[in-house]
Amino acid sequence: MAPTSGETKAAPKRIGTGSGNNTYKDKQKPSDIRQSNIVAAKAIADAIRTSLGPRGMDKMIQDGKGEVTITNDGATILKQMNVIHPAAKMLVELSKAQDIEAGDGTTSVVVLAGSLLEAAEKLMAKGLHPSAIADGFRAAARKATEILRNELAIPLNIEDRSVVTKCAATSLNSKVVSQQSSLLAPIAVNAVYQVSNFKDRNSCDLRDIKVVTVLGGTVEDTEMIEGLLLTQKVCAGPKKMEKAKIALIQFCISPPKTDMDMNVIVSDYAQMDRVLREERNYILNIVKQIKASGCNVILIQKSILRDAVSDLALHFLEKLKILTVRDVEREEIEFVCKTLNCRPIASLDHFTAENLSTADLVEEINCSGSRLVKVTGITNPGRTVSIMVRGSNKLVLNEAERSLHDALCVVRCLVKERAVIAGGGAPEIALSIKLNQYGSGLKGVDSYCFRSFAEALEVIPLTLAENSGMSAINTVTELRKLHAEGQKSAGLNVKKGAIANIMDDNVIQPLLVTLSVINLATETVASILKIDDIVNSVR
């Protein structure tokens, strides 16, 4: 390898007398930039390292407006951080990418990237070229993927709910709401199972699971609702309707507006009376037609142009005993249609009996002061579910929602890729040993890179041990010894504070999460290494 070749090309200009000093400066800049990038990115990784694992700490984040968030989720912490350095921003993006790809492992991915950068720094100090290191790391990640898939993964029968529930519980165990993991894990599993079709691996769309947060009660009161839950309240008509015939409308029940702004001056009472009578007839006509179709529950989409439903209309709807819910958000429409298996009605002409959907019961429920509308017993329901998350204060409630999202993502990962691996640092140690062995058989730069990569992977068990107050070095060396003796599932049980057979202790996680952690972290590190200049554009 010729460590200078890339840099000579990158050296922009050699002005002046051509003294050695000038050339030296040109070469120095790329490495300074690289150094600064690595330092910035490592600072990010160090900042969230303490949050890894069940004994990890939580962060309290305060934004400019004084709003406070308490969280343990890597992606959330980084999203809220005010990061300025461009290389540090790459790690924020990395965590976001992991969140999209797998949903869990957002802390691990950043911690691993930090560790890989540190390894790269050491290799560069030895004189290896950054591009060669990037390539070496990529090769090591490919090999790691192969080992994970072929040797460490345990195939999963997706029908076996108990294993899937354990995976969801592992993910919840490292959250603020870990105490409630035995309640939330089955809810996550049931919800994902309800909306997916196991024949199709990509069938799980989390948009089909509506998570509603309701302040009040405790996280223990969280429940899954088979049917529809609307956050709006009943604004007219009875609060409860059995044998409901539901219409979802997108038109307004209020006097029409002209396209132009104009004023009509009414000068005498007779004219005034006529205007009012017209309005009354117009609205009465709409409401009567609604009643005539047999409809007794009406959901009205929010309108930005005018009032979706006027006071007069509400009065008529009340009199005709039609349960009315207004202000259904535009984004909610798709979900509501899918759940009720109906089409939104865009004009009065289409308001016919066949466009209505039926349900056994629609009622307004009262949850610690919040009023919600619940629809149950839908005839021919779509594949959707609603989950009502409860919490005694806003901070816990929001964190519970984020944690539940992680658990849902874990189950989705298992539907996509039906294999699990052990948790608690076991796969990282196993990979590290195998990559080290493999690297020893290689020649040249790759050999160095493989071994450094292998060492960098140990950061996960190391950090887990550190965060739980165990002796990091002793734990990792002990783990390495056990794995060398062939105990594949020896890992760190942070809860017990000891090394144990991690599979027996039910700490398992989806293969997809770890695969994505390794691959995404490697990609980001490789791209950071290949940057040799930061150019500020002038606008």
One residue of 92, 117, 167, 494 binding ligand ADP per CB under 6 A: 494
Pick the closer one to ligand ADP by CB: 131 or 501.
Answer: 501
Q: Taking contact as CB under 6 A, which single stretch among the options 102-110, 225-233, 266-274, 526-534 is the one that binds ligand ADP?
A: 102-110
How buried is residue 341: exposed, middle or buried, by Cβ count under 10 Å (0-12/13-18/19+)?
Answer: middle
Write down the catalytic residue from 107, 222, 475, 524: 107
Q: Both tokens of residue 213?
A: 């947060």
In the set 104, 406, 446, 505, the catalytic residue is 406
Phi and psi for 424 in degrees, rounded to 5? Answer: 60, 30
403 touching ligand ADP, by CB under 6 A? no
In the region spanning residues 463 to 492, those forming contacts with ligand ADP, defined by CB under 6 A, are 464, 492
CA angle 432, 435, 441 (to 5 degrees): 145
- Which residue of 45, 52, 128, 375 would you call a contact of ligand ADP, by CB under 6 A? 52
Would residue 76 show up in a list of annotated catalytic residues for this protein?
A: no
* Residue 519 in contact with ligand ADP, rule: CB under 6 A: no
Considering the complex, state which of residue 332 and residue 458 has its C-beta at the smaller distance from ligand ADP: 458
Closer residue to ligand ADP, CB minimum distance, 296 or 509: 509
C-alpha R_g of the chain:
30
Triad 462, 467, 473: Cα angle to 5°? 35
- In the complex, the residues that contact Mg ion under the rule CB under 5 A are 104, 171
Residue 324 binds ligand ADP (CB under 6 A): no
Q: Which is nearer to Mg ion, 104 or 466 (CB)?
A: 104
Number of residues counted as binding ligand ADP (CB under 6 A): 26
Paired tokens of 305 = 């142009």
Annotated active-site residue 73? The verdict is yes
Q: Can you tell me whether residue 172 is helix, strand or coil?
A: helix
Annotation marks residue 69 as catalytic: no
Question: Contact with ligand ADP (CB under 6 A): which of 493, 516, 519, 522?
Answer: 493
Closest CB 127 distance from Mg ion, rounded Å: 38
Please tell me the chain's helix, strand, coil percentages from 3-state DSSP, rounded to the nearest 5. 50, 15, 30
The partner in contact with residue 237, picked from ligand ADP, Mg ion, none with C-beta cut-offs of 5 to 8 angstroms by kind, is none
Q: Which of Mg ion, ligand ADP, none lies near 495, with the C-beta cut-off 5 to 8 A by kind?
A: ligand ADP
Helix (H) or strand (E) holding 210: strand 209-215
Q: Which is nearer to Mg ion, 53 or 439 (CB)?
A: 53
For residue 344, the partner it binds in ligand ADP, Mg ion, none, with Cβ less than 5 to 8 A by kind, is none
Q: Is 115 in the site for ligand ADP (CB under 6 A)?
A: no
d(CA 80, CA 59): 11
Run of H or E residues at 26:
helix 20-49
Based on the shown chain and the rule CB under 6 A, indicate whether residue 507 belongs to the binding site for ligand ADP.
Answer: yes
Per CB under 6 A, does 78 bind ligand ADP? no
Q: Which one of the listed residues 106, 170, 213, 463 is annotated catalytic?
A: 106
Taking CA atoms, 386 is separated from 77, 253, 290, 335, in Å, by 27, 29, 28, 10
For ligand ADP, the closer CB: 196 or 509: 509
End-to-end CA distance of the chain: 40
Q: Which two tokens stand for residue 447?
A: 């050999």
Which residue in the set 7, 42, 47, 54 belongs to the binding site for ligand ADP (CB under 6 A)? 54
CB of 406 to ligand ADP, least distance (A): 7
Q: Judged by CB under 6 A, which of 509, 519, 522, 524 binds ligand ADP?
A: 509
Instruction: Say what the alpha-carbon torsion angle 498, 499, 503, 504 is, to the nearest 10 degrees.
Output: -60
| Residue 242 and residue 336 in contact, taking contact as beta carbons nearer than 8 Å | no
Which residues, including other chains, have CB under 8 Å from residue 317's CB and lie 6 or more apart? 236, 237, 253, 287, 298, 309, 324
Quick check: is 107 catalytic?
yes
Q: What is the 3-state secondary structure (H, E, C) of 315-353?
A: HHHHHCCCEEEEEECCCHHHHHHHHHCCCCECCHHHCCH
User: Which residues lie near ligand ADP (CB under 6 A)?
Assistant: 51-54, 56, 72-74, 104-108, 170, 173-174, 423-424, 460, 464, 492-495, 507, 509
Instruction: Name the residues annotated as catalytic.
Output: 73, 106-107, 406
